[in-house]
């Protein structure tokens, strides 16, 4: 059995082991690539036999190898679909027979090599052994590309597992939801935003080092249309766990799961399903408090942009669930013990002074709240925080607010020379102030 045949057999075994993860359309492509490289190997072996020229007496022994530029671009920030599209394009160019390719190689010399696929399989002079080794790399690259395309949903980093928050069907489901996907629309720089989430999940990140007993549920923003799972999700969890805080990242339902903008107008869904997901998650955290070594009286929330609105919503809607109870977790309190609301939207009623939107009614027992906003925010004006601050004060709820002249929107924890970049230290100090962290 030749080197390529052995590699093909190994890849076939791998495909059988991973058949549930590989896109079915990729299997014919892999098979075609194996057959094509088998032909190429046979031809290379033929050419490696010294061919004595009658005129010059020079022995010709060309060999080939495969370079895989596609496989070098399959990082977590590369679009799997792009890679697989390149592989598909390569497969369409591998239709010429081996005999025809031999003829072109003999007649055109180096130029004949350009006849091989130029996108995912470019040929260049190398050793025959290297060709065999690199062939396995290219097919494994195809498997990886196909797997990523098939699993086109947001996934946490290795070592963390997201679990559904609903044991069965979600309450008030969309009639015909689109399949979940990850990444921005085509043509934009890739980043891990979650789209069309119809099966909400939570991912638990345990504290590193000491344990304060605090748990914080994180609500990423995205205008209730998508979720910024990195900037306002995993990066926030990295900060919190390093401070001894258990972090629970909620991938709540989107789109149209809360107040949002559609066609330039404010849209209110009949049921705020993101609020249902938030209430459910707070009950689940308290249900698992002993298991996760969390104090059930130190469970808070942090939200950004639309997630900031969600943090305010769950801070003011805890007297009863907005869905029929499912299990014991729904009989535990869903009131946050504190709330951190960062550059929120959907709180101020445009065209008014500081009038709160009707879906937010602040009770006297709303949790202590930390507000943060930049005065130059072009997406959600600072009036959203000013309005909520005024309503909390009117209800007698402890509130601390920090406003910065500059910072814009969606600054998260990204490095900046502006003073707004020091806000995490203010939050940590505030947690001491309200008694969540001991002296």
| Mean pLDDT, the chain, whole residue set | 78
State residue 12's pLDDT score. 42
Considering the entire predicted model, what is its pTM? 0.69
Cross-strand partners of 360: none
Given a cut of 70, is residue 343 above it in pLDDT? yes
More confident residue, 314 or 136: 314
Q: In what order do the strands lie in the sheet with 299-304?
A: 162-164, 201-205, 246-251, 215-219, 299-304, 339-342, 369-374, 399-404
Mean predicted confidence (pLDDT) in 258-278: 91
Share of the chain above pLDDT 90, in %: 63
Spatial distance between the Cα atoms of 132 and 65, rounded to a whole number of angstroms? 8
| pLDDT, position 17 | 36
Name which of 77-86, 224-233, 259-268 the model is least confident about: 77-86
pLDDT of 128 strictly over 60 = no
Residue range 224-253: average pLDDT? 98
127 pLDDT higher than 70: no
> 23 to each of 152, 200, 393, how far by Cα in Å?
11, 24, 55
How far is Cα 173 from Cα 187, in angstroms, rounded to an integer?
31
Residue with the larger pLDDT of the pair 214 and 264: 214
Partnered with residue 249 across adjacent β-strands are: 203, 218
| Banded model confidence at residue 35, pLDDT cuts 50, 70, 90 | low
Q: For residue 148, with 0-12 CB atoms within 10 Å meaning exposed, 13-18 middle and 19 or more buried, which class applies?
A: buried
| Least confident span in 143-147, 245-249, 379-383 | 143-147
Q: What angle do CA 36, 42, 46 make, to 5 degrees?
A: 145
Tokens encoding 439: 């002296």
**CA–CA distances in Å: residue 171 to residues 324, 325, 333, 418:** 8, 10, 19, 43
The 8-class DSSP code of residue 341 comes to E
431 pLDDT exceeds 80? Answer: yes
Output the pLDDT for position 134: 56
Smallest CA-to-CA distance from 219 within 185, 178, 247 is with 247
> Helix or strand or coil: residue 201?
strand
pLDDT value of position 52: 42
Confidence category of residue 119, pLDDT binned at 50, 70, 90:
very low
Domains and CATH numbers, the chain: 3-49+61-150 (no CATH), 162-172+180-433 (3.40.50.1820)
Distance CA 379, CA 273 (A): 23
Q: Give the pLDDT mean for 385-411.
A: 98
Q: What is the pLDDT confidence band of residue 231, given thresholds at 50, 70 and 90?
A: very high
**pLDDT value of residue 94:** 37
Residue with the larger pLDDT of the pair 365 and 62: 365
pLDDT at 293: 98
Please write the tens of the pLDDT for every residue from 143-172.
444 444 445 899 999 999 999 999 999 999
**Among 288, 203, 208, residue whose Cα is nearest residue 241:** 208
């Amino acid at each position: 059995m030749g080197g390529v045949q052995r590699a093909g057999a190994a890849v076939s075994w791998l495909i059988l082991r991973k058949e549930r993860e590989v896109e079915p359309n990729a299997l014919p492509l892999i098979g075609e690539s194996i057959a094509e490289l088998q032909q190429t190997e046979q031809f290379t072996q033929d050419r490696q036999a010294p061919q004595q020229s009658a005129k010059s007496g020079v022995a010709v022994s060309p060999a080939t190898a495969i370079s895989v530029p596609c496989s070098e671009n399959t990082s977590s920030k590369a679009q799997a679909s792009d890679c697989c599209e390149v592989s598909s394009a390569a497969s369409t160019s591998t239709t010429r027979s081996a005999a025809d390719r031999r003829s072109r190689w003999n007649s055109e010399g180096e130029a004949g090599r350009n006849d091989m696929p130029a996108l995912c399989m470019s040929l260049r002079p190398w050793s025959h052994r290297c060709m065999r080794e690199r062939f396995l790399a290219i097919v494994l690259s195809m498997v990886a590309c196909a797997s990523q395309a098939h699993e086109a949903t947001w996934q946490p980093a290795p070592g963390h597992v997201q679990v559904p928050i609903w044991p069965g069907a979600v309450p008030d489901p969309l009639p015909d939801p689109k399949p979940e996907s990850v990444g921005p629309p085509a043509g934009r720089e890739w980043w891990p935003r979650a789209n069309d989430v119809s099966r909400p999940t939570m991912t638990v990140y345990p504290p590193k080092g000491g344990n304060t007993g605090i748990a914080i549920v994180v609500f990423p923003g995205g205008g209730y249309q998508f979720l910024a799972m990195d900037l306002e999700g995993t990066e926030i969890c990295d900060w919190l766990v390093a401070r001894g805080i258990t972090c629970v990242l909620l991938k709540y339902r989107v789109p149209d799961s809360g107040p949002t903008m559609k066609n330039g107008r404010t849209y209110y869904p009949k049921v705020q399903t993101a609020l249902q997901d938030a209430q459910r998650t707070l009950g689940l955290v308290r249900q698992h408090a002993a298991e996760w070594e969390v104090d059930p009286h130190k469970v808070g929330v942090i939200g950004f942009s639309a997630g900031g609105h969600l943090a305010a919503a769950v801070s003011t809607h805890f007297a009863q669930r907005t869905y029929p109870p499912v299990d014991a977790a729904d009989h535990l309190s869903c009131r946050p013990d504190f709330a951190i609301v960062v550059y929120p939207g959907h709180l101020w009623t445009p065209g008014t002074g500081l009038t709160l939107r009707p879906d937010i009614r602040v009770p006297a027992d709303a949790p202590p709240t930390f507000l943060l906003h930049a005065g130059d925010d072009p997406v959600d004006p600072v009036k959203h925080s000013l309005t909520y601050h005024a309503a909390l004060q009117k209800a007698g709820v402890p509130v601390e607010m920090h406003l910065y002249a500059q910072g814009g929107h969606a600054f998260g924890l990204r490095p900046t020379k502006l003073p707004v970049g020091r806000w995490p230290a203010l939050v940590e100090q505030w947690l001491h102030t309200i008694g969540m962290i001991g002296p």
